[in-house]
Amino acid sequence: MLKIKSSKKDATAGQNGSSSTTPVPSRSTTPRPPASNGGADALRNGVLTVRIHSGRNLNLPPNTTLPSVIQQALASGAQQQLQQGRSAARESLQRKKAWWLPYVVLQFDKQDVMVDALGGEIGAPVWMSKAHFDVSRSSDISISAYLRTQPPAAGEDQNDMGNDLLLCRLDYNPVLEGHHVVDQWFPATAGTGQFHLQISFKPTAAQGSLL
């Protein structure tokens, strides 16, 4: 809550001000290449957890102007109201979604999760969310940041992203062996910007006993 038409699920409130979501199967028609290491070597079983904290240095595509509805939202003081509201409520467990800030879609093996921003700025949004993905084989993680071109309307199809602008995307091949954790800033592989992510893999008990 990217420019593919796929099933997405909004992040919901969780502990410590972050949200935890369970992905749903994607309906994306974009073809995916087979795992590079076929056969038994490509088989993995476990849970992949992706925590997305924030972004920085996000920019619009070349020769693209800021959508007029975003300009109007900023001119109306929506950003200041968001910051004041978060401060007054001490924000801890209150998640106020800012539709005019970039949202992200996390994809792993045909599973998608969409996450709205909680605050920050257009070039440096804050998401503070996490998603869990069931792992059965090797696959890349794809994280894409989008900017809306119109405010979301109540009752509209949230799976249709319309003409939202893709700001940047990260494609990353996670380590799916043993208990592995990485926490760092990842540069976008398409577009400009960086994502602060914590990516961890926990194998099933059967697999863990063999590693």
Q: What is the pLDDT of residues 123-144, one digit of tens each?
A: 999 999 999 999 999 999 999 9
- Global model pTM greater than 0.75: no
149-154-155-156 Cα dihedral, nearest 10 degrees:
0
C-alpha separations of 175 from 94, 166, 179, 198 in Å: 33, 27, 9, 12
Residue 52: pLDDT band (50, 70, 90) is very high
Would you say 102 and 58 are in contact if contact means Cβ atoms under 8 Å apart?
yes
What are residue 85's DSSP bridge partners?
A: none
| DSSP states along 158-205 | TT--TTPEEEEEEEE----SSSEEEEEEEE-SEES-EEEEEEEEEE-H
The reply to whether 9 falls in a domain is no
The reply to whether 28 falls in a domain is yes
The reply to whether 2 falls in a domain is no
pLDDT of residue 181: 96
What's the domain range around 65? Answer: 15-208
The reply to whether 1 falls in a domain is no
Q: Looking at 83-97, 114-128, 150-164, which range is the least confident one?
A: 83-97
Would you say 165 and 158 are in contact if contact means Cβ atoms under 8 Å apart?
no
What's the number of domains the chain is made of? 1
State the CATH number of the domain containing residue 92: 2.60.40.150
The reply to whether 95 falls in a domain is yes
The reply to whether 145 falls in a domain is yes
